[in-house]
Chain A
Amino acid sequence: MANWIEILLRSIMLFFLVLGLTRIMGKRQLTKLTPFHFISYSIIGILAALISVNIIDNLVLGLLSLGTWVAFYLILDYFALKSKLIHDWINGRETILIKNGKVMEENLKQARLTGEELLKELRTKNAFNLADVEFAVMETTGELNVLLKSDKKPVTPFELGTEVSPKSAPQTVILDGNILDEPLSNIGLNRGWLNTELEKLGLSLDNIFIGQVDSSGDLYVDLFDDSIQVSQPKIKETLFANIKKCQSDLVKYALDTQDNKAKKMYSSNAKKLKNLMNKLESYLLH
């Protein structure tokens, strides 16, 4: 057999073999590999390359070595899922670099980081001031994660005590001028509905790049032709304004009327609408 045919055949075989192996070995982001995974991946890659260019000329021996690496990798990975001890042994443990706002110099040395590097890592996490950091930990992948002091953390709606509406993922129903039927039927709508909505907006399907339906069933579109101004739905804002208007009307009637019973009725209903406004605000505005 000519040399080149052998190399061709080996390469094709290994190409599909490695493709299959990477599927079995799971999804890991390459930038977030622990040293164990990195070395396993590299060795498997190098072995495959060596076999395919015929440096390891005995195919069986080469595949044996490759198989051993993959098998041990998979076995250890499996046991790491089952046992915390083996997981720590393979992956190492995270190192706490800053605790209670104080840098742990011993751990820093262990992680082989200089003070300057620590500051650089902190800056990538938007902590420019060491004084703002409450807790920082180096993960087994070498990534630094930072917990800011509670008064330096971004404010959440929970801390502000405001209610926010739960957002469920919008469904993309138009892409590149094509209607996607599956997401459309997922939310119980059909092409007829979509055509009516498009007619309302006065747009043709082939001018639409992306169309999304949000959780309250409103259609949002982005056009190929950006010079056209689309009137996006303002129904919710109008609805809220109308409720607000009625509420203030009721307050006014309550003040105007002389009848005590009517006054009571108006003010209790005004209160009801006020509660309604508070409840609906996060859904209708934003």
Chain B
Amino acid sequence: MTVASQLKQTIATLNGVKSTLEIYSLKSFNEEEKSIYKNSLKTTEEVIHDLEERLKIVEYEEPQYKGF
């Protein structure tokens, strides 16, 4: 597997993590728990953002691996 496709896989997993966290942050009724999930959501989004930036660079350097 190329670097780009590995990276894409990780980003996809993280997006899954993000949406699950989002569901929990909405449906938990304990305020403390809710805020923990919300903070985690933010951290995950930051990580996803960084990885997507990196993916752009990788795809620019090796355009043959662009896309899926």
Taking Cβ atoms with an 8 Å cutoff, the residues of A that contact B are 165-166, 168, 187-188, 215-217, 235-236, 238-239, 242-243, 245-246, 249-250, 253, 256-257, 262, 265-266, 269, 272-273, 275-276, 279-280, 283
Q: Pick 21 A–B contacts, CB within 8 A, sort by A.
A: A216-B27, A216-B28, A216-B30, A216-B33, A217-B24, A235-B20, A239-B17, A242-B20, A246-B10, A246-B13, A249-B6, A250-B47, A253-B3, A253-B10, A265-B54, A269-B46, A269-B50, A272-B47, A273-B43, A273-B47, A279-B40
Q: Chain A residues with Cβ under 8 A from B28's Cβ?
A: 215-217
Cα A165 to Cα B20 in complex, Å, equals: 18
Q: Compute how far the CA of A283 lies from the CA of B28 in the bound complex, rounded to whole angstroms.
A: 11
In this complex, the interface size class of chain B, counting residues with CB under 8 Å from chain A, is 20 to 34
Is the CB–CB distance between A279 and B24 below 8 Å?
A: no
Cβ-closest chain B residue relative to A270: B47
CB distance from A9 to the nearest CB of B (A): 54
Please encode chain B, from 1 to 29, with 1 for each CB lying within 8 Å of some chain A CB and 0 for all others: 00100110010011011001100100111
Are B33 and A166 in contact, CB atoms less than 8 angstroms apart? yes
Q: In the complex, what residue of chain A is closest to B11 when comparing beta carbons?
A: A246
